Amino acid sequence: MIPTMIDAYLREHSLRFEHFMHGRAVAAQRLAAAEHVSGSRVAKVVVVSVDGRLALAVVAATERVDVEALRDALHAHEVELVPEARFADRFWPCEPGAEPPLSLFGVPIYVDAELARQPWLLMRGGTHEDAIQLDTDDWLLSERARIVDGLGVTLQ
């Protein structure tokens, strides 16, 4: 079940979405498999620190975040991946690692340019058993996500 706070946020911001439930899927690629969609349409959220401030980097499930590309795009001094233990409570009521990329959490959102070209995206709904599908353009506009070229690099 999508946490009430997430559901209310989506509705208050007129973000039309479809909700899907599936077996527990922690890895983004497993979410893609559970929902029978290409990993290129699954938004994988990675918590990063940009000059000491939390942000969300969003790439396809088939990719990893290129921290150097993000640092260069933002003209930041330091960008690093943040271990889950450092942010677990920050995205309450979401399960750690299942936070959807929403402005609700008060952190900037950066999205890979290739992912931003998808017509729709599947993302976690706050738990590892829930997913939401949104129109990409609606999501980008509502959440004021900044598009970053080369943010995602194909996993080896």
Per-residue DSSP letter, 4: H
Residue 68, C-beta contacts closer than 8 angstroms, at least 6 positions apart = 79
CA distance 149 to 93: 31
pLDDT, one tens digit per residue, over 79-130 is 999 998 888 888 999 998 899 999 999 999 999 999 999 999 999 999 999 9
* Percentage of the residues of the chain whose pLDDT score is greater than 90: 82
Kindly tell me the burial class for residue 6, based on how many C-beta atoms sit within 10 Å of its own C-beta (0-12, 13-18, 19 or more).
buried
C-alpha distances in angstroms, 142 versus 13, 21, 68, 131? 7, 24, 27, 18
pLDDT, one tens digit per residue, over 21-42 is 998 888 888 888 888 999 999 9
Query: Which pLDDT score, from 0 to 100, does residue 6 have?
Result: 95
Q: How confident is the model at residue 131 (pLDDT cuts 50, 70, 90)?
A: very high
Spell out the domains of the chain, with CATH numbers in brackets. 4-154 (3.90.960.10)
